[in-house]
């Protein structure tokens, strides 16, 4: 994008007047956050007792009245009106300011906090200072920035223009903070395990590849931290967790970004049921504290109780206890199939249009679950007794060897959490790894993680672990329909940046090739 000529002119005018467009800082003392000022100072105090304050922020609105000027300044705490008058600032300064000031500039202003005739709380400035000149106009405050592509490619513009976006990422931060606090309060220790893995295990997904030069070593970006966190249980820590990024080399969708954030926690001497309790407590409290409880907007806005969260046109009820149902029950209810009967599963798959050819039975079952069951689970539901074949790291249920002591928490059709009693039998684990490798499925590890098996051979206490998808949690609680609304900089095909420079030669090469290949294009 080109800098408009009028802004270049303004830079020149500023420099001629000896004013730096981007000074190192402000010379006005005691800058206060706008919200703090509005809380501290009384604009209705009698003359002589009113507070004097310095505020600074981005110019969000300009209303020119000739010999005076109203400016709305916005900082990250709020917004306040500043009144600039020729008489208070002096003719020369006032005139220059009016000439060069644009929406989007950063300004500091110092003056008395009082009320205008119209009742607006206002800083009556007797000193102002340009803190940073903007060269591009900000997106329209009134219309916001609606173009999805621009919003994602230029998130900064989205954050300037769209208060919902600005607020949503603050909510995300608060959710992560409170999740961390919840675990710390219960004696969990936060750790950091490697992102670069020689063997990408702990989940079923295609990994990203990378390479370490000096070791001549091919590495994968981790698809899950699970196997390292359990090594720490072997090492003797009893409660560990990690909040961080996982990478899966798969498609993009409103629910999938190639890099996404997970919280994983491992708890020695606990079982799946302990995580049901804790997970429910955590999710319900996050929903109450950070969920979107307002339905509709403007005059028709309706405030819902704190256990109800609005998402799109429906409401999710997070009141405890959450629904509990077994996997087999749900497949029976919604897909009319018997999970443990191959003929029944294949028939149901056909009936519901689920692909069967070339897929393992448990994959077909899982697809059936995803297609027929998940979309119906709107209020939080703990799905228990998942097939053991889908749970290669999980202990079998003592009551039924076909199913795992495992649950998934489904909310609004999305898998939000996954937890199980951890398999700590090294020989069983080795056999399951070997079976995975034998499948030669590109989504499964190509190699057995023998070091992990060895770790189990040292002895891992009985334990239960959980993973919670942070992005999806934020989506659910903030009403976001797409994962891109909760990831600051989601992956997009690169464009613009650099394209302007590289476009020309690239185009020339392509057209040369085309011309060389078929000189008589017009005839065809």
Partner RNA sequence: GGGGGUGUAACUCAGUUGGUAGAGUAACGGCCUUUUAAGCCGUGAGUCCUGGGUUCGAGUCCCAGCGCCCCCA
Is residue 92 within the footprint of RNA (CB under 7 A)?
A: no
Told to check if 45 binds RNA by CB under 7 A, we report no
Q: How far is the CB of 94 from RNA (least distance, A)?
A: 9
CB of 507 to RNA, least distance (A): 7
Does 320 bind RNA (CB under 7 A)? Our answer is no
Least Cβ distance, residue 114 to RNA (angstroms)? 8
- Shortest spacing between CB 51 and RNA, in angstroms: 16
Binding segment for RNA among 148-156, 198-206, 212-220, 463-471 (CB under 7 A)? 148-156
Residue 137 interacts with RNA (CB under 7 A)?
Answer: yes
Per DSSP, what are the bridge partners of residue 326? 384
162 near RNA (CB under 7 A): no
CB of 351 to RNA, least distance (A): 13
If you count DSSP H runs as helices and E runs as strands, how many of each does the chain have, helices first?
16, 20
Considering CB under 7 A, how many residues would be counted as binding RNA? 55
Q: Which is nearer to RNA, 280 or 485 (CB)?
A: 485
| Residue 301 or 521 having the CB closest to RNA | 521
Q: Which residues of 442-469 are buried (b: 16+ CB within 10 A; e: fewer)?
A: ebbbeebbeebbebbeeebeebbbbbbb
Letter string b/e over residues 103-113, b meaning 16 or more CB atoms within 10 A of that residue's CB = bbbbbbbbbbb
295's tokens: 């339905």
Judged by CB under 7 A, which of 24, 29, 117, 298 binds RNA? Answer: 117
Are the C-beta atoms of residues 276 and 466 closer than 8 Å to each other?
Answer: no
Residue 97 is given by DSSP the state H
CA gap 211, 27 in Å, rounded:
50
155 binds RNA (CB under 7 A): no
* 26 membership: H or E segment, kind and range: none
User: In sequence order, what are the residues at sequence separation of 6 or more whose Cβ sits closer than 8 angstroms to the Cβ of residue 450?
Assistant: none
Nearer to RNA, 215 or 522 (CB): 522
**CA distance linking residue 384 with residue 332, whole number of Å:** 14
Nearer Cβ to RNA (138/380):
138
Of 14, 107, 123, 145, which one interacts with RNA (CB under 7 A)? Answer: 145
Query: Nearest approach, Cβ of 352 to RNA (angstroms)?
Result: 9
In the range 51-80, which residues lie near RNA by CB under 7 A? 61-68, 70, 72
Q: In 373-449, which ranges are continuous DSSP H helix?
A: 426-439
For RNA, which is the closer residue by CB, 35 or 174? Answer: 35
Is 334 near RNA (CB under 7 A)?
no
CB closer to RNA, 185 vs 297? 297
Q: What is each CA distance from 61 to 69, 85, 101, in whole angstroms?
A: 10, 16, 11
Binds RNA by CB under 7 A, chosen from 149, 185, 313, 501 = 149
Instruction: Give the C-alpha separation, 494 to 301, whole Å.
Output: 39
Residues in region 346-385 near RNA by CB under 7 A: 353-355
Residue 499 beta carbon to RNA: minimum distance, rounded to whole angstroms = 9
* Residues 381, 325 contacting (CB under 8 angstroms): yes
Q: How far is the CB of 343 from RNA (least distance, A)?
A: 21
Question: Which of 54, 111, 124, 416: binder of RNA (CB under 7 A)?
Answer: 124
Can residue 4 be called a binding residue for RNA (CB under 7 A)? Answer: yes
The string of DSSP codes covering 323-350 is: EEEEHHHHHHHHH---TT-HHHHHHHHH
Stretch near RNA under the rule CB under 7 A, chosen from 81-89, 179-187, 283-291, 432-440: 81-89
Number of Cβ atoms within 10 Å of the Cβ of 257: 21
Q: What is the largest CA-CA distance in the chain?
A: 89
Rounded to the nearest whole angstrom, what is the least distance from the CB of residue 85 to RNA in the complex?
A: 4
Window 235 to 294, contacts with RNA (CB under 7 A): 251-254
Query: According to CB under 7 A, which one of 339, 452, 484, 486 is a site residue for RNA?
Result: 484
By CB under 7 A, residue 523 contacts RNA: no
Residues 6+ apart with CB under 8 A from 287: 306, 307, 309, 316, 318, 476, 477
Q: Which residues pair with 55 in a beta bridge?
A: 109
In angstroms, the CA 220 to CA 201 distance is 10
Residues 175 and 168 sit within 8 Å (Cβ to Cβ): no
- Contacting residue, 8, 17, 148, 431, with RNA by CB under 7 A: 148
Contact residues for RNA, defined by CB under 7 A: 4, 6, 10, 61-68, 70, 72, 81, 83, 85-87, 99, 102-103, 116-120, 122, 124, 136-137, 139-140, 142-150, 152, 251-254, 353-355, 482, 484, 492-493, 495, 522
């Amino acid at each position: 994008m080109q800098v408009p000529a009028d802004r270049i002119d303004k830079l020149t005018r500023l420099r001629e007047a000896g004013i730096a467009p981007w000074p190192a800082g402000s010379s006005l003392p005691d800058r206060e956050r706008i919200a703090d000022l509005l809380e501290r100072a009384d604009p209705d105090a009698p003359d002589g007792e009113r507070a004097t304050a310095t505020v600074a922020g981005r110019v969000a609105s300009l209303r020119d009245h000739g010999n005076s000027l109203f400016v709305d300044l916005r900082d990250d705490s709020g917004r306040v009106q500043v009144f600039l008058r020729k008489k208070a600032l002096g003719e020369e300064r006032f005139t220059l300011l009016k000439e060069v000031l644009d929406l989007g500039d950063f300004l500091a202003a110092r003056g008395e906090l009082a009320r205008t005739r119209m009742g607006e709380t206002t800083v009556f400035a007797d000193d102002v200072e340009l803190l940073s000149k903007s060269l591009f106009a900000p997106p329209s405050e009134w219309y916001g920035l609606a173009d999805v592509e621009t919003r994602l490619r230029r998130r900064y513009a989205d954050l300037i223009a769209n208060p919902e976006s600005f607020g949503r990422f603050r909510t995300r931060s608060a959710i992560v903070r409170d999740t961390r606090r919840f675990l710390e309060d219960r004696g969990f220790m936060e750790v950091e395990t490697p992102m670069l893995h020689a063997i990408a295990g702990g989940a079923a997904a295609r990994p990203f590849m990378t390479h370490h030069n000096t070791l001549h070593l091919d590495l994968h970006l981790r698809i899950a931290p699970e196997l390292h966190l359990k090594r720490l249980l072997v090492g003797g820590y009893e409660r560990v967790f990690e909040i961080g990024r996982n990478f899966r080399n798969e498609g993009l969708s409103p629910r999938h970004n190639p890099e996404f954030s997970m919280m994983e926690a491992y708890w020695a001497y606990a079982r799946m049921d302990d995580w049901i309790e804790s997970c429910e407590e955590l999710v319900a409290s996050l929903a109450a504290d950070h969920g979107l409880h307002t339905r509709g907007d403007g005059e028709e806005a309706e405030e819902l109780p704190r256990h109800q969260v609005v998402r799109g046109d429906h409401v999710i009820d997070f009141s405890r206890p959450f629904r509990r149902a077994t996997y087999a029950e749900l497949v029976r209810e919604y897909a009319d199939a018997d999970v443990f009967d191959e003929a029944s599963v294949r028939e149901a798959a056909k009936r519901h249009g689920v692909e069967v050819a070339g897929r393992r039975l448990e994959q077909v079952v899982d697809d059936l679950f995803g297609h027929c069951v998940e979309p119906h689970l709107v209020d939080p539901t703990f799905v228990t007794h998942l097939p053991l074949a889908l749970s290669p790291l999980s202990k079998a249920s003592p009551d039924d060897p076909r199913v795992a002591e495992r649950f998934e928490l489904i909310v609004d059709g999305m898998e939000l959490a996954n937890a199980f009693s951890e398999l700590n039998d090294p020989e069983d684990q080795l056999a399951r790894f070997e079976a995975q490798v034998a499948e030669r499925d590109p989504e499964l590890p190509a190699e057995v993680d023998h070091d992990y098996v060895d770790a189990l051979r040292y002895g891992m206490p009985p334990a239960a672990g959980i993973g919670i998808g942070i992005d999806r949690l934020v989506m659910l609680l903030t009403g976001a329909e797409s994962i891109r609304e909760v990831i600051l900089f989601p992956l997009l095909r690169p464009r613009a940046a650099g394209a302007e420079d590289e476009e020309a030669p690239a185009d020339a090469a392509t057209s040369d090739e085309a011309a060389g290949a078929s000189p008589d294009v017009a005839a065809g």
